[in-house]
Amino acid sequence: MVLYRSVSLLSKLKNTRAVRQPNLANSVRWLQIQTSSDLDIRSHLKELIPEQQERLKKIKSEYGKVQLGNITVDMVLGGMRGMTGLLWETSLLDPDEGIRFRGLSIPECQKVLPAAKSGGEPLPEGLLWLLLTGKVPTKEQVDALSAELRSRATIPDHVYKAIDALPITAHPMTQFTTGVLALQVQSEFSKAYENGIHKSKYWEPTFEDSLSLIAQLPAVAAYVYRRMYKNGEIIPVDDSLDYGANFAHMLGFNSPDMQELMRLYVTIHSDHEGGNVSAHTGHLVASALSDPYLSFAAALNGLAGPLHGLANQEVLLWIKSVVDECGENISKDQLKDYVWKTLNSGKVVPGFGHGVLRKTDPRYMCQREFALKHLPDDPLFQLVSKLYDVVPPILTELGKVKNPWPNVDAHSGVLLNYYGLTEARYYTVLFGVSRAIGICSQLIWDRALGLPLERPKSVTMEWLENHCKKSA
């Protein structure tokens, strides 16, 4: 099934060849790798777009009336869970297996995407190429994209001034989003729209804005970090470094392991299909033809909520509160009591549960593998491992939690904390930098495919009562 889906999705793409990867022994995959050696990603998109437009047209004309499911009252009242209602090309989430980026699971991405060093973590630029084109790039193509991003990374001075206008105590996400909104004045899309650009060309300035935004985000994010926690001593971009390593460098971390962690972190947080709060918000706002800066700033505001991206902050703060109260060598029984205390005080256990996933998040697992390799004896990692044993049975016992297993946020904080990035309130900003890669890649395709204004129908309770009485 997986094999079929991957082949059917990707075999439509031109200029590619299907190759069986001999090193994927236990997870046979057919991959589309670049056969064109062109280093400029725009030319690949120019070639792909007409054929994907045709594909969408065909789906509309041949299958437009096919039903995808029934909408129930529970779905309307239950946050639209289980309701298929969005087109999102860059990734797809399976409840049991987790995320696939253009058909590739996280372990597969770790095997086939170019890395900074042999056997190392994927370079996020490679993932950006994959999400945009559906093809695995060569190392040369990734290096060219890296260089292009570096060439766009300069931040106009007014962005720093906008951030500086906020109190230093403002939440890092507020400062970061302010920076993103301040970047909006450079939007090529907005200017082109004002000048009457033809709709068939929308994707081009959207692409320009998206690449600039992705390129500039690490510097804006690092500015917020250094302003808040390092006396405002700013570290400039290093032209010899890739995207993930440069981000770590601008934050003030230069160890090879922290560079690897940042590459992995940015890669795995990038995209989680279209229905999550940040992606959905970005997509909704963009559907009004708001430019990528406006759309992504909106997405960040959703990410800043504690049930979504802010959960990574909440997890580390919660873990630290456990340590403060019970010490690092807490027993499993003490930990159980602490979890119950949290639940009984009307709070959630952060880092556990999910709106779609029904098994342990593969993003959790790859971070666990990173920890087992690089920091097996870290006391906080060991505490996270104990939580993996203790929390799921308790959430199951509650009887209402649909997924008792850990999600991506249950693990990220202890890794960052180990390498010295200890300021938990900052963590969601890191998630935000990464999430731009997925949201902007899809946004370029939204424009290329001419997706319409998003405007679902809402109803009142009275409407529901009347409708249900009539149909009973």
Name the site residues for ligand MLT (rule: CB under 6 A).
272, 276, 308, 355-356, 407-408
Element (H, E) at 17: strand 16-20
Closest CA to 232 of 146, 168, 138: 168
Q: Are 183 and 293 spatial neighbours (Cβ–Cβ below 8 Å)?
A: yes
Q: Which does 349 bind (CB under 5 to 8 A by kind): ligand NMX, ligand MLT, none?
A: ligand NMX
Residue 175 or 342 with smaller CB distance to ligand NMX? 342
Residue 171 or 308 with smaller CB distance to ligand MLT? 308
Residue 276 or 412 with smaller CB distance to ligand MLT? 276
Q: Which does 139 bind (CB under 5 to 8 A by kind): ligand NMX, ligand MLT, none?
A: none
Q: Is 439 helix (H, G, I), strand (E, B) or coil?
A: helix
Per-residue HEC secondary structure of 222-260 comes to HHHHHHHHCCCCCCCCCCCCCHHHHHHHHHCCCCHHHHH
352/361 Cα distance (integer angstroms): 10
Residue 150 or 308 with smaller CB distance to ligand MLT? 308
440/212 Cα distance (integer angstroms): 10
Residue 218 or 309 with smaller CB distance to ligand NMX? 309
Residue 145 or 415 with smaller CB distance to ligand NMX? 415
For the record, the structure tokens of 250 come out as 């601008």
Q: Residue 28: left if φ>0, alpha if ψ -120 to 50, beta else—which one?
A: beta
- Catalytic residue ranges: 308, 354, 409
Q: Which does 348 bind (CB under 5 to 8 A by kind): ligand NMX, ligand MLT, none?
A: ligand NMX
Could you give the C-alpha distances from 385 to 3, 255, 419, in angstroms and in order?
A: 33, 25, 18
Q: Are 434 and 275 spatial neighbours (Cβ–Cβ below 8 Å)?
A: no
Closest CA to 192 of 181, 180, 179, 205: 205
211/190 Cα distance (integer angstroms): 15
Q: Are 8 and 86 spatial neighbours (Cβ–Cβ below 8 Å)?
A: no
Burial class (CB in 10 A: 0-12, 13-18, 19+), 166: middle
Q: Which does 57 bind (CB under 5 to 8 A by kind): ligand NMX, ligand MLT, none?
A: none
Q: In the chain, what is the straight-line distance between the N-terminal and C-terminal CA atoms, in Å?
A: 39
Residues making contact with ligand NMX (CB under 6 A): 307-309, 311, 343, 348-355, 395, 400-403, 407-409
Q: How far is the CB of 409 from ligand NMX (least distance, A)?
A: 5
For the record, the structure tokens of 353 come out as 């549960």
185/191 Cα distance (integer angstroms): 9
Q: Which residue minimizes CB distance to ligand MLT?
A: 276
What's the maximum distance between 2 C-alpha atoms anywhere in the chain? Answer: 68
Q: Which does 401 bind (CB under 5 to 8 A by kind): ligand MLT, ligand NMX, none?
A: ligand NMX
Residue 355 or 404 with smaller CB distance to ligand MLT? 355
Q: Which does 266 bind (CB under 5 to 8 A by kind): ligand NMX, ligand MLT, none?
A: none
